[in-house]
Chains A and B, each alone.
Chain A
């Protein structure tokens, strides 16, 4: 494959004020809020009529697109029965006293500032159509697969189709009515558009962390307001709790619906840091990454390096084609010349990685490598 040519340029252009954790760019991904410089230089965005921008290279699917469609099941609610937030409001950290320190938030930091999207709100909406630094984006969350992912949306918005595949949210875009399974981030045929162009969405990284960690790192962060315009109960998660972790989110509990995966190397809900490109997929058990700091692995035939970032308790994955050696000391990564780098800014080409439940990851990417 050809590597995205501007990734290094993107990271360089963002400057030190940007949290690199929010600017991962896997294949097709790019920083959503970089002022447009990286997007222009990249020149690979594809628009599909009124649909969202897509990438030149397509991400892998576990089976042919029509088979993915045939595996879709109704989760119960109809189309838009789970309403997306289309006019999000934000408040300051001080105006969000209802957030507990241990509550999960999905963080996005850009040149323009930092935003936190509380899991307790997104569990009721799954999609938040936002504008960040002037760029239309969608922040999405699927509770059943434990995946929070950001997508560029162009002039359209994403909604919740009400269908699931491998327990994962199938989004649809309101411009072309195309189905987009969230983790696959790739168009599949659906009842409202049965022959879409099979392209992949342009993605960006969200950091799954806790409110305490995020607000410590970004004291001036904005928080998605509970004033969403909808009458919802944001005090209660219908599936369980992450603070403490219980119910559906317990590591050993089964998926809600039939899973594609029969891989039992990890319990179903074990959190892995997964990364995938057109060449393949790799997963790093989060606990193991936290313990070891650095983990070498392979994605397809490419050597990759996963790094733990202790402040936000997250991780990053880099291509490491030359097999460069690094050491991990006190949360810093030391290269072979003795220079220290923050985990989110290694002098390597970063892939887009995100947290996911193991059953979901291994179901979508059965050939994935796994590092525990």
Chain B
């Protein structure tokens, strides 16, 4: 490819310098993402990763649920006060402004939760797509390729019930003030990990080899 910022335009001798240079890692990742966007297979992987994580995230934070035995037509019920969209209901959680029900599926439309979910899911999708490219290209990848998927896990744990993190109910661990305080870091930690892993996996992809 002809992108002058791509690592492929550099010599192998520059590799060590590239890996220690932040701007180089970013440029390499951007180039890899562009390459991924041009391929149908990696684009499909990106979309699948994004959609899968989006659904998983919305379900774990409680915005999306499936109630067995539910039925009936699609209904939409709006909140009276749409400013609830900006009301904090927990750590990186915001109020919903509509309840959308379709058969057994209920979705609480919280615009800010959805934006955050799309941002996280986009990062996960990008990680998955680049990991995929790293695997299909001739050059072997290191173990860090898998970190892209794992990096999205902390945010999945950030779902909270009215009082206390839901995941603790599932695993039976008792909450403490410290633990609950720690839960407010899960989303930022996930973002940092996702960006970090994206840079790691991005620099491993050689767009020229695709």
Contact = CB atoms under 8 A, between A and B. Distances in A.
Contact of A231 (B65, B70, B78, B169): B78
A258 B176 CA distance: 7
Q: Which among B88, B110, B161 has the greatest number of chain A C-beta atoms within 10 A?
A: B161
Contacts of A169: 163
B160 A77 contact: yes
Contacts of B70: 235
Interface stretch (A8-16, A42-50, A248-256, A339-347): A248-256
B172 to A, nearest CB: 7
B149 to A, nearest CB: 26
Chain A facing B: main interface SS: loop
Contacts of B166: 238
B91 A76 contact: yes
B6 to A, nearest CB: 45
Given A231-B96, A235-B106, A248 B169 contact: yes
Contacts of A255: 174
Interface in B153-191: 160-166, 168-169, 172, 174-177, 180-181, 183
Interface size class of A (residues with CB under 8 A): 35 or more
Interface string A311-354: 00000000000000000000000000000000000000000000
A146 to B, nearest CB: 13
Interface in A268-305: none
B81 interface: yes
Interface in A142-162: 143-144
A363 interface: no
B39 interface: no
A73 interface: yes
Interface in A204-231: 227, 229-231
Given A81-B89, A82-B89, A238 B79 contact: no
A230 B162 contact: no
Nearest to A257: B175
A80 B162 CA distance: 11
A325 to B, nearest CB: 44
Interface in A116-172: 123-124, 126, 143-144, 164, 167, 169
Contacts, number: 113
A239 interface: yes
Interface string A228-246: 0111110110111000000
A112 interface: no
A256 B96 contact: no
B95 A231 contact: yes
Contacts of B80: 229-230
Interface in B75-110: 77-81, 84, 87-91, 93, 95-99, 106, 108-110
Contacts of A80: 87
A74 interface: yes
B175 A256 contact: yes
B196 interface: no
B110 to A, nearest CB: 8
Contact of B177 (A74, A126, A232, A235): A74
B126 to A, nearest CB: 30
25 contacts: A74-B181, A75-B164, A75-B180, A76-B91, A76-B163, A76-B164, A77-B88, A77-B90, A80-B87, A81-B89, A82-B163, A83-B84, A123-B162, A227-B77, A230-B79, A232-B108, A233-B106, A238-B62, A238-B161, A247-B169, A248-B169, A253-B172, A254-B174, A257-B174, A257-B176
Given A76-B164, A231-B84, 8 more contacts: A77-B160, A81-B89, A229-B79, A231-B110, A248-B169, A256-B174, A257-B164, A257-B174
